[in-house]
Structure 1
Amino acid sequence: MAADTEHPEAARRGPREYRTEELARRAGITVRTLRFYRERKLLPPPRREGRIAWYDDHHLARLRTIGALLERGHTLTGIAELAEALDQGRDVADLLGVGTPTEEEPIRLTPEELAARFEGEVTPENLAAAMELGYLGTDGDKIVHISRRLLDVSSALVREGIPLAEVLTAGARVREHAEALATLFSDLILRHAPEEDLHRLRPLARSVVEAELSLAMDRQLNKGE
């Protein structure tokens, strides 16, 4: 069938392209459902050649993600809002910065994997707040979290019953203090050492902050005794 035939130009370029019927078949949905999703703006527009619509693997991945989110109880309205937020989000280059040194490990996830980490808490509002904080960006169909450690801690707090919105609000406040501490230590080091030593000495600054935070938590715990 023509619907199952790979477009010859796509074969020469490399990425696979699909006509409407084949995309629907591969995603396990009907053509009518595919068109409905497109009308609801759950899918980016296809590439067109005359009256023929050509879809690619990004569309297929989005359809499979929609199916997985529906199975987890998300509504089409919620999925549409998430898709819009992701499509308008900053990309990975804006998130990480070109050539910016970091000790944190970014992690790439599908929307389905992110939803699984924060069951029922990945709302458009929380997604927008995380993007505003600089925690999240996009890389094609993937979501990029700037720090695996922050992602793990955030999801652990949510599993303990703390709403994600409050975790993000706390993160914004911590960011303010962290920026001030980073400025303090950077200024201290640069007053007495060349700029190239800043990266080498940053673990010392981190150790001071971790120790002081640990002592502060001790004081908070002792208040109740």
Structure 2
Amino acid sequence: MADQAPGDSTTQSGTDGGGSAPGAPDAGGRAPAEYRTAELARAAGITVRTLRFYRERKLLPPPRREGRVAWYNEHHLARLRTISELLARGHTLGGIADLIDAFEKGRDAGDAAELLGLGSTLASPWSEETPVRLTPEDLAAHFPGEVTSENLAAALDLGYLAVDGDEVVHVSRRLLDASTALVREGIPLAAVLDAGRVVREHADAVADLFTSLVRTRLFADVPTLSPADLRRLDEVMDRLRPLAKQVVDAELALAMDRRLRAEVEDWSRPEDAEAAGGPQDADGPGGSAS
């Protein structure tokens, strides 16, 4: 049965997650944080409608109820943030639900975390991307006349978009802004997505290069990462992050200079150059008419 808004839900005699009153201190004398539905949605950066959808999909444990009011805690907030992170990585809600179900049914926490993509994550993520939640109307406003089934399928396949109920989540504010600007310049969205796929391939190759350098040159004597090695790797990658970005940015700038010079030279040739060269060749040695 679908969950209802707190004011519309049926009264339950029992409680989930403890029977203390909201704000009652815990064993350590601290007041646990609790949220009503709208407060939790606001803290997680989602809509109330999305929160209820997650509850319907069993992605959240039941809230503690006090009469007709549902109370959520920090565990619910952490779960919502994990769901948002996994959606940003391209996971589907169905896949997230399966993994959460496996975890809650007693699967080893380390294995489940690894499946969720959390177990091997460094303390300092390399990317600094901010996911963006969009309604269908928002998406259409970004790309007027370009939101076709083919383009949506391509964006989903690339991992740029993930479906979340009646909304979509774009993996990156910066990529969304760049794509929007390119389309406004007159480049079709299909061409932008095709270019994005090629850029992804080259970016993966650059990432492979950097990680191979680190592994073969700095961790050649480490067959298996221990917790201490993982901390060291995190520190190394944190130091190398700005250097890698600096190298890529400089090389791209130099490549663009070379490419643009070549293109400008090609465009600057007189249109009749070849035609003018034809008669000259014909009038060359042995080619003139008598």
C-alpha separation between the residues in 2 aligned to 1:10 and 1:140? 27
The answer as to whether partners of 1:190 and 1:198 remain within 8 angstroms in 2 is no
Q: 1:93 aligns with which of 86, 94, 105?
A: 86
Paired residues, what number?
151
1:169 corresponds to: 194
Alpha carbons 2:88, 2:131 under 8 Å: kept: no
* Equivalent pair of 1:107/1:145 in contact (CA under 8 Å): yes
Gaps of 5+ in 1: 1-5, 17-55, 59-90
The equivalent residue for 1:208 is 247
| Amino acid corresponding to residue 169 of structure 2 in structure 1 | V
- Tell me which residue corresponds to 1:218: 257
Q: CA deviation at 1:15?
A: 6.7
1:70-111: CA deviation from partner (whole Å, max 9, x where unpaired) = xxxxxxxxxxxxxxxxxxxxx862542654523212111111
SS at structure 2 position matched to 1:108: strand
Counterpart among 136, 139, 144 of residue 111 in structure 1? 136
Unpaired stretches in structure 2, ≥5 consecutive residues = 1-6, 17-35, 39-47, 51-83, 90-115, 219-231, 266-290
**1:200: Cα distance to partner?**
3.3
Spell out the pairing of 1:29-40 with structure 2 (5 A cutoff): none
* Bigger Rg, structure 1 or 2: 2
Structure 1 contact 133–172 (Cα < 8 Å) conserved:
yes
Q: Is the Cα–Cα contact under 8 Å of residues 145 and 151 in structure 1 kept in the other structure? A: yes
Residues 1-225 of structure 1 aligned to structure 2 (within 5 Å): 7-9=8-10, 57=49, 93-96=86-89, 98-99=117-118, 100=121, 101=125, 102-193=127-218, 194-196=232-234, 197-223=236-262, 224-225=264-265
CA distance in 1, matches of 2:183, 2:88: 24
- Contact 2:154-2:193 at 8 Å conserved across structures: yes
Counterpart of 1:134, as a letter, is G
Deviates more, 1:131-140 or 1:165-174: 131-140
Residue 10 of structure 2 aligns with an amino acid whose one-letter code is E
Letter in 1 for 2:244: A
Contact 1:107 1:148 (8 Å CA) reproduced: yes
> Per the alignment, do residues 205 and 124 of structure 1 end up closer, same or farther by CA in structure 2, a change over 3 Å counting?
same
Aligned to 1:81: none
After superposition, the C-alpha distances for 1:16-58 in whole angstroms (9 at most, x for unaligned) are 9xxxxxxxxxxxxxxxxxxxxxxxxxxxxxxxxxxxxxxx946
* Residues 121-158 of structure 1: CA deviation (Å, up to 9, x unaligned): 01111011001001111333331111111111101000
Amino acid of the residue matched to residue 216 of structure 1? A
What secondary structure, in the 3-state scheme, does the structure 1 residue paired with 2:252 have? Answer: helix
In 2, Cα distance between the equivalents of 1:8 and 1:147? 36
Evaluate the alpha carbon distance shift between residue 183 and residue 165 of structure 1 in structure 2; reply closer, same or farther with a 3 A threshold. same
Identity %: 55
Q: Distance in 2 between matches of 1:214 and 1:176?
A: 19
CA contact (8 A) 1:92 1:137 kept: no
1:135–1:8 Cα change, 3 Å: closer
Contact 1:110 1:143 in 2 (8 A): yes
User: 1:10, 1:214 → 2: CA distance?
Assistant: 64
Q: Which has the larger helix fraction?
A: 1
**Structure 1 pair 159–170 and aligned structure 2 pair: CA distance change class (3 A):** same
* 1:138–1:144 Cα contact (<8 Å) kept: yes
The TM-score normalised by the length of structure 1 is 0.58
Preserved contact between residue 183 and residue 189 of structure 2 (Cα < 8 Å): yes
Q: CA–CA distance in 2 between the matches of 1:106 and 1:154?
A: 14
SS at match of 1:104: coil
Given the superposition, is the C-alpha separation of residues 124 and 165 from structure 1 closer, same or farther in structure 2, using an over 3 Å criterion? same
Quote the Cα distance in structure 1 between the aligned partners of 2:10 and 2:151. Answer: 41
Distance 1:144 1:116 in 2: 15
